[in-house]
């Protein structure tokens, strides 16, 4: 009974111990906030990585696409390959499959009178099929979360496109269409001339092919004189672009003209600065890849449960084609995800060392408190307290300090995490330094993700550290000779 | 009742050994109020510590009712100090974080676990309050030691020493830090306790004026008892205190 009483009284009266509580509190709060922010970044990154890639990807390095010959040596079409995949043992665990072409390209467009050229990753897709295999429409700007995304222009975009054509004609003169030549009249066995109606009918307009460009390709960000981040659109829906890539047997330059229909906004600069989506058929036509694809994106019904089985079966299915790779999205992004986990592990280790430093402060302060309490220890022993009982007082004191520090630190850490954007805004306003530059991170808010298991783990670790570091002073207190303790001045 | 037999005790200070008790023998009778006097450094406090098992002799033995107590296991010596002996120190030695009532209750807190304390707390609180009223501090239950005078602190220490109904009180210079009047009050209180409750008291002092109130006085010099002096002229009536 006396142990608990003295622990609580020491906590209430020894203000020096508040330093220990504050140390533990700050260490725990820091760990919680940093873990929450890192986890938020990591989760958002993984979501984006998984969203842009489907569950499983089958791809090939061949620039002319999959070459899987049928019985007579003709390459299987994407539909035939899809049927082959669905007919395999993995088929009943697959929800959707879509073919794509992925290649490098250069995107050109006019901006403020100059031609801008950007290297991009060009992906030919069937937009509805792509939406079925994973996150695609959720990252579109105009067709966000649409179940049937497309490359169609909106009315406004079409109007903008026509206005731009007229503006070009006004600036550069109308396009002259030469009059058709009159045929030579030969009365003997002559073919009748074409009718005037056919000659004067309006020529059919060429088909406009849409393109979905990464948001950062179409927009420029800069900081103005007032230190505000300004975003300017270089490309808007309705603007035309030229995409140049390589195609054909000898990979010669080929190009196509497209009209911007939408933006891709994943909030990951790596994708928003480079990804460009065009219709699969148009890209096949441009590259001379008739009925071919370079990748198949697959969505599973139950990813975690079936990923190993499906990848193993598909590897067996394509085992005769060594240039074909089968991998999950995690294996595709393995190095990046591993880097994130390693960074997080190292950061946690370093931050736990901060709590370890708090432990050393507990050791120092407890040693001082035990020295202050020499006489009290002598009194307690003279009244019949055992050495183990005296040790328990100080161990319990360390445990109590650790627990109080933990509880306060957890509350503080969770509060900071919940209000981190407001705190960042205040700090940035106070110091004049932007703590979280939006143009660097491309996130609107600081992402956070509180894992309560991690919070509990941090709390247990901090309490253990506090208790362990109070062990030595407590042991010294227990070993004190009562007579020497009573005489201590 | 309490016997010291051939006690020897030395302290080592750096390379120098200081012999404090030099083959000391002493008998304390049940119900007796014994004073031990001597100059500073004669070993009075050391003897008290050995009698109360706060320290262990180098050689010799301490016996209580014929049973050796200086070589008992630690937990048995702790139990003796909690229930059989009561201590009163020159500098009171109250715990500064606790109020008067909690200081007096400290031996009971040490004796009981949390569960058993919960069951018996009311009777212990009543006993503590009665003891404090007896020593004249019934109105100071919630005061901290720093709010008490020297005499009040010593009376609190006496109440604490009596809480567990000890058989023997060991008082080490109980008036050493008090003025003459307060010191006299303390000795009168101790005399009352000895007379009314039959508690055996062994008091160490260098103040020869207060030993007149005691039954017997022994003088120590150079670590041995040199002679005995009568205290009160009439013989004492030993009364066994309830164990």
Q: What does the block give as tokens for A332?
A: 């595709």
- One DSSP character per residue, B13-62 reads ETTEEEEEEEEEEEEE-TT-EEEEEE-TTSSHHHHHHHHTTSS--SEEEE
Residue from the list A13, A387, A486 with its beta carbon closest to the beta carbon of B97? A13
Give the tens place of pLDDT for each residue, B95-119: 988 999 999 999 999 998 888 888 8
Q: What does the block give as tokens for B118?
A: 């919960």
Which secondary structure element, helix H or strand E, spans residue B108, and what is its range? Answer: helix B100-111
- Residue A178 confidence (pLDDT): 52
- Residue B242 confidence (pLDDT): 27
Distance CA A18, CA A93 (A): 58
Q: Which of residues 113-142 of B touch A (CB under 8 A)?
A: 113-114, 117
Distance CA B43, CA A358 (A): 46
- Residue B229: beta bridge partners? B217
Q: Which of residues 37-56 of B touch A (CB under 8 A)?
A: 49, 52, 54-55
- At residue A286's C-alpha, the angle toward residues A281 and A287, to 5°, is 100
Strands B216-221 and B33-38: parallel
In this prediction, the residues of chain A whose per-residue pLDDT falls under 50 are: 197-201
Could you tell me which of B46, B9, B20, B5 has the C-alpha nearest to residue B170?
B46
Greatest pairwise CA separation for chain B in angstroms = 53
- Residue B41 confidence (pLDDT): 80
Query: A286 with A280: CB under 8 angstroms?
Result: no
Which pLDDT band holds residue B240 (cuts at 50, 70, 90)? very low
Domains of chain B and CATH, by start: 2-230 (3.40.50.300)
The residue in chain A having the minimum alpha-carbon distance to the alpha carbon of residue B104 is A383
Residues of chain B in contact with residue A12, where contact means CB-CB under 8 angstroms, are: 97
Q: What does the block give as tokens for A152?
A: 């169609």
- Residue A279 confidence (pLDDT): 92
- Residue B14 confidence (pLDDT): 74
Distance CA B92, CA A7 (A): 22
Could you tell me which of A242, A336, A246 has the C-alpha nearest to residue A53?
A336
- Residue A278 confidence (pLDDT): 92
Give the tens place of pLDDT for each residue, A271-294: 888 999 999 988 888 888 878 889
Q: What does the block give as tokens for A122?
A: 């060009």
Distance CA A169, CA B184 (A): 121
CA distances from B23 to A21, B10, B48 (A): 53, 11, 15
Distance CA A142, CA A261 (A): 8
- Residue A207 confidence (pLDDT): 65
- Residue A163 confidence (pLDDT): 81
Distance CA A444, CA B26 (A): 88
Q: What 8-state DSSP symbol labels residue A271? A: H
CA distances from A148 to A82, A138, A209, B46 (A): 21, 11, 17, 96
Residues of chain A in contact with residue B80, where contact means CB-CB under 8 angstroms, are: 384
Give the SS3 label for residue A322: coil
Query: B38 with B205: CB under 8 angstroms?
Result: no
Residue in the block written with tokens 């109250």: B94
- Residue A247: beta bridge partners? A252
CB spacing of B106 vs A2 below 8 angstroms: yes
Query: B215 with B183: CB under 8 angstroms?
Result: no
> Nearest CA to CA, how far is A25 from chain B (Å)?
25
HSE-up of residue A391 (Cα within 13 Å, Cβ side): 12
The ipTM assigned to this model is 0.87
Distance CA A89, CA A99 (A): 20
The residue in chain A having the minimum alpha-carbon distance to the alpha carbon of residue B75 is A386
A224-241: burial string, b at 16+ Cβ within 10 Å, e else:
eeeeeeeeeebbebbbbb
- Residue B236 confidence (pLDDT): 32
Instruction: Give residue ranges of A with CB < 8 Å to any B CB.
Output: 1-2, 4-6, 9-10, 12-13, 375-376, 378-387, 389, 481-483, 486
HSE-up of residue A39 (Cα within 13 Å, Cβ side): 16
> Nearest CA to CA, how far is A451 from chain B (Å)?
37
Could you tell me which of B87, B63, B92, B47 has the C-alpha nearest to residue B170?
B87
> Nearest CA to CA, how far is A399 from chain B (Å)?
18
- One DSSP character per residue, A399-468 reads HHHHHHHHHHHHHHHHHHHHTHHHHHHHHHHHHSS-SS-HHHH--SS------HHHHHHHHHHHHHHHHH
Give the SS3 label for residue A253: strand
Q: Which of residues 182-241 of B touch A (CB under 8 A)?
A: none
CB spacing of A384 vs B107 below 8 angstroms: yes
Residues of chain B in contact with residue A482, where contact means CB-CB under 8 angstroms, are: 54-55
Query: B186 with B4: CB under 8 angstroms?
Result: no
CB atoms within 10 A of CB A305: 11
CB spacing of B97 vs A10 below 8 angstroms: yes
- At residue B104's C-alpha, the angle toward residues B99 and B107, to 5°, is 125
Residues of chain B in contact with residue A13, where contact means CB-CB under 8 angstroms, are: 97
CB spacing of A483 vs B75 below 8 angstroms: no
Signed CA dihedral, A222, A227, A229, A235: sign only:
negative
Check whether B234 has a pLDDT greater than 60: no
């Amino acid at each position: 009974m006396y142990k608990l009483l003295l622990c609580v009284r020491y906590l209430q009266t020894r203000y020096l111990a508040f330093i220990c509580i504050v140390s533990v509190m700050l260490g725990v709060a820091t760990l919680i906030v940093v873990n929450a922010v890192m986890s938020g970044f990591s989760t958002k990154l993984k979501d984006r990585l998984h969203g842009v890639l489907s569950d499983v990807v089958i791809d090939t390095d061949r620039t002319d696409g999959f070459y899987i010959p049928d019985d007579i040596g003709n390459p299987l079409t994407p539909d035939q390959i899809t049927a082959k995949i669905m007919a395999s043992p993995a088929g009943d665990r697959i929800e959707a499959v879509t073919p794509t072409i992925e290649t490098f390209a250069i995107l050109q467009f006019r901006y403020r009178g100059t031609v801008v050229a950007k290297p991009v990753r060009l992906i030919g897709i069937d937009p509805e099929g792509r939406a079925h295999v994973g996150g695609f429409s959720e990252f579109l700007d105009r067709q966000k979360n649409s179940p049937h995304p497309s490359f169609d222009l909106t009315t406004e975009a079409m109007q903008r496109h026509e206005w731009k054509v007229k503006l070009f004609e006004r600036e550069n003169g109308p396009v002259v269409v030469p009059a058709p030549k009159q045929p030579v009249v030969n009365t003997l066995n002559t073919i009748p001339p074409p009718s005037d109606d056919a000659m004067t009918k309006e020529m059919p307009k060429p088909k406009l092919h849409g393109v979905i460009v990464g948001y950062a390709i179409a927009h420029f960000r800069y900081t103005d004189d007032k230190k505000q981040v300004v975003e300017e659109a270089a490309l808007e829906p309705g603007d035309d672009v030229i995409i140049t890539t390589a195609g054909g047997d000898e990979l010669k330059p080929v190009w196509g003209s497209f009209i911007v229909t939408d933006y891709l906004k994943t909030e990951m600069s790596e994708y928003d600065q480079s990804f460009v989506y065009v219709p699969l058929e148009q890209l096949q036509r441009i590259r001379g890849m008739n009925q071919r694809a370079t990748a198949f994106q697959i969505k599973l019904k139950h990813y975690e449960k079936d990923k190993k089985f499906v990848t193993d079966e598909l590897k067996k299915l394509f085992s005769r084609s060594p240039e074909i790779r089968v991998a999950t999205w995690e294996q595709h992004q393995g190095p990046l995800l591993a880097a994130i986990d390693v960074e997080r592990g190292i950061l946690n280790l370093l931050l736990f060392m901060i709590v370890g430093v708090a432990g050393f402060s507990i050791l120092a302060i407890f040693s001082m408190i035990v020295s202050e309490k020499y006489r009290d220890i002598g009194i307690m022993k003279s009244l019949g307290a055992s050495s183990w009982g005296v040790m328990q007082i100080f161990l319990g004191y360390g445990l109590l300090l650790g627990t109080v520090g933990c509880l306060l630190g957890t509350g503080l850490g969770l509060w900071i995490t919940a209000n981190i954007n407001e705190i960042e805004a205040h700090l940035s306003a106070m110091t004049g330094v932007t703590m979280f530059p939006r143009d660097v991170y491309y996130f609107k808010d600081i992402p956070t993700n509180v894992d309560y298991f991690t919070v509990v783990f941090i709390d247990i670790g901090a309490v253990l550290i506090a208790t362990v570091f109070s062990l030595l002073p407590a042991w010294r207190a227990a070993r004190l000779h009562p007579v020497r303790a009573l005489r201590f001045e | 009742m309490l016997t010291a037999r051939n006690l020897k005790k030395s302290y080592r200070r750096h390379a120098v050994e200081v012999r404090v008790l030099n083959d000391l023998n002493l008998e304390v009778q049940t119900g007796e109020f014994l004073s031990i006097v001597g100059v500073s450094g004669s070993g009075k406090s050391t003897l008290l510590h050995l009698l109360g098992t706060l320290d262990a002799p180098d050689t010799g033995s301490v016996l209580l009712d014929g049973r050796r107590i200086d070589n008992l296991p630690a937990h048995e010596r702790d139990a003796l100090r909690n229930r059989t002996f009561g201590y009163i120190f020159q500098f009171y030695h109250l715990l500064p974080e606790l109020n008067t009532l909690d200081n007096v209750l400290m031996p009971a807190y040490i004796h009981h676990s949390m569960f058993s304390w919960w069951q018996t707390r009311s009777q212990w609180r009543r006993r503590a309050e009665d003891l404090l009223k007896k020593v004249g501090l019934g109105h100071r239950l919630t005061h901290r030691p720093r709010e008490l005078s020297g005499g009040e602190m010593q009376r609190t220490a006496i109440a604490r020493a009596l809480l567990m109904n000890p058989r023997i009180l060991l008082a080490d210079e109980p008036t050493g830090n008090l003025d003459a009047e307060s010191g006299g009050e303390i000795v009168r209180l101790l005399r009352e306790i000895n007379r009314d409750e039959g508690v055996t008291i062994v008091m160490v002092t260098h103040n020869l004026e207060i030993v007149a109130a005691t039954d017997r006085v022994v003088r120590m010099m150079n670590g041995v008892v040199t002679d005995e002096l009568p205290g009160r002229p009439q013989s004492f009536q030993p009364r066994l205190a309830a164990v």
